[in-house]
Structure 1
């Protein structure tokens, strides 16, 4: 499912125009992104939790040259599915 299909499904399920569903989806993505950028997490009970995971610095290898390189520490957005969502999928 791509974004336009998701917007159409939200509009049908919530009985709202597609333009309004699009604005709501964009606002949700923006709010979740802003919260993660601040270091917070967003929990939706029954669905899951959006959070930021820290990746430590590590050494790696350049596959082309075989040279050892240092990979810097980074933060990665992540999603942890809730129990209700896991049960629904299984």
Structure 2
């Protein structure tokens, strides 16, 4: 069974410890990073975080989908989806 994911509070604590700053400034840095990524991706851009991966928005075309409960075919409008491509270094460290 997989371990529980790291919470924001745990991430802020680890970030504060790694950068030798207080938790308040580490939390502000994390919130600012999330806001920058959100603004860039929502405007159609992409953000590359070295060693982690690339976050970008992809447009999906209009398509036919099936309702699994009824089996009914219906048309789904075109939409956008946020995608993350994981960096090779991170993949290699996980698979090592």
Q: Settle same-fold status: TM greater than 0.5.
A: yes
Q: CA RMSD for the aligned pairs?
A: 1.2
Q: How does 1:12-51 map to 2 (within 5 A)?
A: 12-51=17-56
Instruction: Tell me the alpha carbon deviations over residues 11-34 of structure 1, each in whole angstroms, 9 at most, x when there is no partner.
Output: 111111111111100100000000
The count of corresponding residues between Structure 1 and Structure 2 is 90
Structure 2: segments with no counterpart, 5+ residues: 1-5
Which segment drifts farther, 53-62 or 30-39?
Answer: 53-62
Match of 1:59 in 2: 64
Instruction: Tell me the alpha carbon deviations over residues 33-75 of structure 1, each in whole angstroms, 9 at most, x when there is no partner.
Output: 0000110101123321111122221111122222211111111
